[in-house]
Structure 1
Amino acid sequence: MPALVTRKETETLQERTLVAAGTHFEKIFGYSRAVRVGPLVAVAGCTAAAPEGPIGGADIATQTVECLRRVQGALEDVGASLRDVLRTRFYVTDISALEAIGQVHLDFFADIRPASTIVEVSALAHPSLLVEVEADAVVGN
């Protein structure tokens, strides 16, 4: 019978930085606006939601600008910037607005050019929300 070999694996624990946006969804679902572990940063879906209705009203381009401003703010809260972004993901309720959304993305990321995905979905958290944006970044990349 072969000898039983036991391997001891060592886990390196890194500091985990959490950013809260203060929304009620964070408390209900138990998530953070952004999380940084080492050089890696993940920014959760950002919308243009506001108490009086979405910033930008029914204009998807203006909502997209607000989403990306919130992504930018979350990145800055963990010591990152738009220059560190390597991927963006857009969830939209109307894919026919692709060019308007793409122009806003270009305005924020023309020199950075992260990998990007845009997907049409049937609905977001509230019917007035037209777009939601996520981002992943590597600090110092």
Structure 2
Amino acid sequence: MRKTYGTGSVWEQALGYSRAVQVDNTLYISATAASSDEGIVGEDFYTQTQYILQKLGKVLADAGFGYGDVVQSKLYLTDISQWEEAGRAHGEVFGDIRPTLSLVHVLPFLDPKMLVEIELVAQKSA
């Protein structure tokens, strides 16, 4: 079984991707930024990470998953020296769940106000 989830973003159509793709009991969520209809939310790594994780919680819920199903998390940071701030927000959500984690230092994103992107993989037990 393969099912795609979208947000209606113009980028999804233009670039040919989905916000999330579910294959059987696994959900793969595309890298997500702290963007809203009003622009980028937050001016620091902690706030952006918090906001992104809230957004991802909704993506998980829409597909019938929850934070407890997350097995892998990847944080893409434009300034790796800010890893503790991003990590603090991540730990507030995943401290007891403890998925695998990658902290990746990246060049600036298309919008220089974007400091963080997060990608998740979730899996339900069979």
Q: TM-score range by the shorter chain?
A: over 0.9
- TM-score after normalising by structure 1: 0.85
Is structure 2 residue 72 aligned with structure 1 residue 87?
yes
Letter in 1 for 2:66: S
Give the distance between the partners of 1:96 and 1:104, measured in 2 at CA: 15
Secondary structure, aligned partner of 2:40: coil
Give the distance between the partners of 2:97 and 2:65, measured in 1 at CA: 14
Who wins on radius of gyration, i.e. which is larger? 1
Poorly superposed stretches of 4+, deviation over 6 Å: none
User: Given that residues 92 and 130 in structure 1 are in contact (C-alpha distance below 8 angstroms), is that contact kept between their aligned partners in structure 2?
Assistant: yes
1:108 Cα deviation from its structure 2 partner: 0.4
Is structure 2 residue 21 aligned with structure 1 residue 21?
no
Give the distance between the partners of 1:23 and 1:48, measured in 2 at CA: 14
Equivalent residue, structure 2, for 1:130: 115
Residues 89-127 of structure 1: CA deviation (Å, up to 9, x unaligned): 011101111111111111000110000001111111311
1:36 Cα deviation from its structure 2 partner: 0.8
The structure richer in strand per residue is 2
Unaligned runs of 5+ in 1: 1-13
- TM-score after normalising by structure 2: 0.94
Alignment map for 1:112-123 (pairs within 5 Å): 112-123=97-108
Aligned length: 126
Structure 1 vs Structure 2: percent identity of aligned residues?
36
Alignment map for 1:1-141 (pairs within 5 Å): 14=1, 16-56=2-42, 58-140=43-125
Unaligned runs of 5+ in 2: none
